[in-house]
Amino acid sequence: MTSPVRIGAVSYLNARPLVYGLDRPAASPGSQAERLTVRFDLPSACATLLAEGAIDLGLIPTIAYLDRPGDRVVPGVAIVSDGPVASVAIFTRRPIRDVRSLALDTSSRTSVALTRILCARVLGATPAFVPHPPKLDSMLAACDAALLIGDPALFADYRALGTEKIDLGEIWTRWTGRPFVWAFWAGPPDAVDGSTVQRLQQARDAGVAASDAIANAYCADDPPCQAIARRYLREHVQYGLSDHALEGVRAFYHEAAALGLVDRTGPIEFFDSTPPKAM
């Protein structure tokens, strides 16, 4: 019996449709896809666990892929926005051009890199960047503005703090005309076979179809948050890695390299989605 494929997923709401049903047995007994284990961590932790060999496949921030030349990406599956994303934003009490210090959520390098790019290329801001744990009130106590990602950004009662919310997905797409890809499944070339790739694609399809149920279960103890979560999964997040979305990835890598935020760019290589032949 083969060892289970160890999968590291992001702990935020936006990843739940991608792992929908993976806790149930696969439809093809005996295949690699039959045995999967899933753990949930912050995006940055998923990349670290993959680098340490603690997981076989990780839902990693797109910028982390450049750290691991030779890795492969699961085709057709990602966390994507094409316009406002709602869960990655700068919160500020000042006009963005007047911001002199910006606290950076340490949970994801991709969002940090995007913040630096948009400040330099679009927003006209030149703040000092200060890494900070994702607590909005303490971030704003320490700095003029704060980058926050994931559930904390999505559910933040930012108006009560007297702040403006600048949606980075919206700014990126307005500037480039392209979607932004926040994360995708990646791992070493031998991490998964075609049967597992197909199972991950099927989980995405099933999760998208069940997005309202996923949102309601995720926020079961907070009905007002359920409405936010349902709208978020329906309107703000997409899960297909299309050619147009890949153009967005390449544009992001180009801009990150131009600012010296990455040492290299390169092509995106994909896993084969053809299931292995039965012996």
pLDDT tens column, 39-87? 999 888 999 999 999 999 999 999 999 999 899 999 999 999 999 999 9
- Worst-scoring range by mean pLDDT, 91-100, 197-206, 233-242, 268-277? 268-277
195 found inside a domain: yes
Is residue 71 within 8 A of residue 186, CB to CB? The reply is yes
276 found inside a domain: no
The pLDDT of 99-128, averaged and rounded, is 96
The pLDDT of 19-43, averaged and rounded, is 76
Does residue 126 sit in the same domain as residue 74? no
Does residue 54 sit in the same domain as residue 33? yes
Does residue 117 sit in the same domain as residue 190? no
245 found inside a domain: yes
Does residue 65 sit in the same domain as residue 18? yes
Q: Please give the tally of structural domains in the chain.
A: 2
Examine the fold and report which residue of 176, 201, 230 is the final residue of a domain before the chain moves on: 176
Domain holding 105: CATH number? 3.40.190.10
Does residue 70 sit in the same domain as residue 141? no
d(CA 145, CA 82): 24
Q: State the DSSP code for 24.
A: S
Parallel, antiparallel, or unpaired: how do β-strands 72-73 and 180-187 relate? Answer: antiparallel
144 found inside a domain: yes
Does residue 166 sit in the same domain as residue 209? no
Is residue 82 within 8 A of residue 238, CB to CB? The reply is yes
Does residue 64 sit in the same domain as residue 187? yes
Residue 279 has pLDDT above 50, yes or no: no
263 found inside a domain: no
Does residue 15 sit in the same domain as residue 67? yes
At 1, is the pLDDT very low, low, confident or very high (cuts 50, 70, 90)?
very low
pLDDT at residue 2, as a whole number: 67
101 found inside a domain: yes
Does residue 152 sit in the same domain as residue 197? no
Phi, psi values for residue 26, rounded to 5°: -70, 160
Instruction: Give, in degrees to the nearest 5, the angle at Cα 147 between 64 and 42.
Output: 45
39 found inside a domain: yes
- Which helix (H) or strand (E) is 224 found in, with range? helix 223-231
Residue 250 CA, chain-centre distance (Å), reads 16
d(CA 193, CA 208): 23
Range among 23-27, 232-236, 266-270 with highest mean pLDDT value? 232-236
Type of residue at 4: P
Q: State the DSSP code for 260.
A: T
If you write DSSP's letter for every residue of 47-94 in order, what string do you get?
Answer: HHHHHHTS-SEEEEEGGGGGGSTT-EE-TT--EEESS--SSEEEEESS
Question: 122: which 2 tokens?
Answer: 């679009």
Does residue 215 sit in the same domain as residue 163? no
The overall average pLDDT reported for the chain is 93
The pLDDT of 158-167, averaged and rounded, is 94
User: 10-40 in b/e burial notation, b at 16+ Cβ within 10 A?
Assistant: bbbbbbbbbbbebeeebeeeebbbbbbebeb
Is residue 124 within 8 A of residue 152, CB to CB? The reply is no
Q: Residue 17: give the domain boundaries.
A: 5-78+180-221+241-258
Q: Output the pTM of the full model.
A: 0.94
Does residue 131 sit in the same domain as residue 204? no
